[in-house]
């Protein structure tokens, strides 16, 4: 059995930790360590983490406070590096805004990864409190310059109940053998927030690693609680900028042209719906930064 490190980035929302730790504590397959990387340290968060340590003394919780918000990519990288230093052979990248009640979830994703020759494993994900699909496999859509989750907001059907290899999975909950990072590299810290998982999954695919969508296991996702959602100023800026980053790095000229037009046009439509000056400011800054920032391309 792999020695698993469980890695999550914290950014406020202390109330999420109740369900988060309750889910982990249920597991019949224990993790070696829980690596909590806090991008918004506060007295309230420290108090809640300590309360969880007291409630679940069998869990080895390693809590790291950053002095400022380093972004999701850099914070995850810190957790991955800690897990590697501790001798973990696999890790689970996980949001804190999730919950699950299957005690065999960790054992099952580890088993499936081994069965599928060291594949990355992603479970089915429902919207919290429902059985509507949030993730049941996915892929990159090049003409949109973004990713798609198959069957989003749909009820269960034959396709969602079929496990298969798939082109994309989010780091909402993702089981990853450590050797994948050794060959594909860590997350690209230029992305900060949004699309950092899509960019890394793309590099992992180039390095020869596949993603197995496990339809037989599931969890629940409290979507966008920690960031305010895709229509927040933060969401508008980073989602737009980073999609432009991505197409500049990996697409052909004509793919870039088509995708850039779609990204800018579709985002403008959503910004119009917000009626906020700050949203327009985030939008135009994202376009400028996304198109003209000098990027350090990752090695493939």
Do 251 and 147 belong to one domain? no
Do 213 and 242 belong to one domain? no
Of the candidates 92, 93, 100, the one whose C-alpha atom is nearest the C-alpha of residue 20 is 100
Q: What is the pLDDT of residue 229?
A: 60
Do 200 and 282 belong to one domain? no
Do 243 and 101 belong to one domain? no
Do 245 and 99 belong to one domain? no
Choice between 208 and 15, residue whose per-residue pLDDT is larger: 208
Mean pLDDT of 12-25: 91
Q: What is the pLDDT of residue 299?
A: 47
Neighbouring C-beta atoms of residue 1, cutoff 10 Å: 12
Which residues have C-beta within 8 Å of that of residue 233, sequence separation ≥ 6?
A: 276, 278, 279, 281, 282
Tell me how far apart the alpha carbons of residues 147 and 205 are, in angstroms, rounded to a whole number.
Answer: 15
CATH number for the domain including 110?
A: 3.90.550.60
Q: What is the pLDDT of residue 56?
A: 94
Mean pLDDT of 32-46: 92
> Residue 156's beta-bridge partner residues?
none
Q: What is the pLDDT of residue 147?
A: 95
Domain boundary among 221, 243, 259: 221
Tell me how far apart the alpha carbons of residues 102 and 108 are, in angstroms, rounded to a whole number.
Answer: 10
Tell me how far apart the alpha carbons of residues 73 and 192 are, in angstroms, rounded to a whole number.
Answer: 5
Contact by Cβ (8 Å): 215, 161: yes
Mean pLDDT of 242-271: 95
Residue 170 lies in a domain: yes
Do 170 and 253 belong to one domain? no
Q: How does strand 61-65 pair with strand 33-38?
A: parallel
Domain boundary among 186, 221, 256: 221
Residue 78 lies in a domain: yes
Tell me how far apart the alpha carbons of residues 186 and 295 are, in angstroms, rounded to a whole number.
Answer: 16
Residue 300 lies in a domain: no
Do 142 and 237 belong to one domain? no
Domain boundary among 194, 221, 248: 221
Number of domains in the chain: 2
Do 95 and 210 belong to one domain? yes
Greatest CA separation for the chain: 56
Q: What is the pLDDT of residue 41?
A: 80
Residue 17 lies in a domain: yes
Label residue 224 by pLDDT band (50, 70, 90): low
Do 24 and 153 belong to one domain? yes
Interval 83-128: pLDDT, tens: 999 999 999 999 999 999 999 999 999 999 999 999 999 999 999 9
Q: Supply the mean pLDDT for the chain.
A: 93
Ranges assigned E (strand) in 136-290: 138-141, 146-149, 164-166, 173-177, 211-221
Helix/strand/coil for 283: helix
Element at 9 (helix H, strand E)? strand 4-10
Measured CA to CA in angstroms, residue 238 lies from 39, 196, 233, 274 at distances of: 16, 10, 9, 17
Residue 137 lies in a domain: yes
Do 258 and 157 belong to one domain? no
Q: What is the pLDDT of residue 2?
A: 80
Residue 128 phi/psi, 5-degree rounding, is -60, 135
CB neighbour burial string for 250-278, b if at least 16 within 10 angstroms, e if fewer: bbeeeebebbbebbbeebeebbeebeeee
Percentage of the chain beyond pLDDT 70 is 96
Domain that holds residue 242: 233-292
Q: What is the pLDDT of residue 300?
A: 41
Entry pTM: 0.93
Interval 160-170: pLDDT, tens: 999 999 999 99
């Amino acid at each position: 059995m792999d020695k698993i490190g469980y890695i999550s980035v914290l950014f406020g929302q202390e109330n999420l930790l109740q369900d988060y730790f309750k889910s982990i504590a249920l597991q019949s397959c224990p993790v070696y360590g829980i690596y909590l990387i806090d991008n918004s340290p506060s007295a309230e968060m420290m108090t809640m983490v300590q309360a969880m340590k007291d409630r679940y003394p069998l869990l080895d919780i390693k809590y790291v406070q950053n002095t400022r918000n380093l972004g999701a990519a850099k914070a995850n990288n810190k957790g991955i590096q800690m897990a590697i230093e501790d001798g973990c052979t696999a890790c689970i990248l996980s949001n804190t805004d999730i919950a699950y009640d299957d005690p065999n979830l960790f054992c099952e994703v580890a088993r499936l990864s081994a069965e599928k020759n060291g594949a990355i494993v992603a479970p089915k994900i429902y919207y919290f409190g429902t059985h509507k699909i949030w993730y049941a496999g996915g892929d990159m859509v090049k003409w949109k310059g973004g990713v798609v989750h198959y069957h989003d907001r749909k009820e269960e059907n034959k396709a969602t109940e079929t496990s298969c290899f798939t082109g994309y999975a989010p780091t909402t909950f993702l089981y990853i053998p450590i050797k994948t990072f050794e060959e594909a590299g860590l997350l690209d810290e230029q992305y900060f927030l949004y699309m950092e998982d899509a960019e890394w999954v793309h590099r992992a695919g180039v390095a020869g690693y596949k993603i197995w969508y496990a339809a037989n296991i599931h969890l629940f996702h409290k979507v966008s609680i920690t960031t305010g959602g895709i229509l927040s100023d933060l969401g508008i800026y980073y989602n737009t900028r980073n999609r432009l980053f991505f197409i500049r790095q990996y697409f052909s000229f004509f793919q870039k042209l088509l995708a850039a037009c779609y990204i800018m046009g579709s985002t403008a439509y959503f910004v119009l719906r917000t009626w906020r000056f700050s949203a327009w400011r985030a939008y135009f800054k994202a376009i400028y930064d996304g198109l003209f920032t000098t990027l350090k391309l990752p090695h493939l």
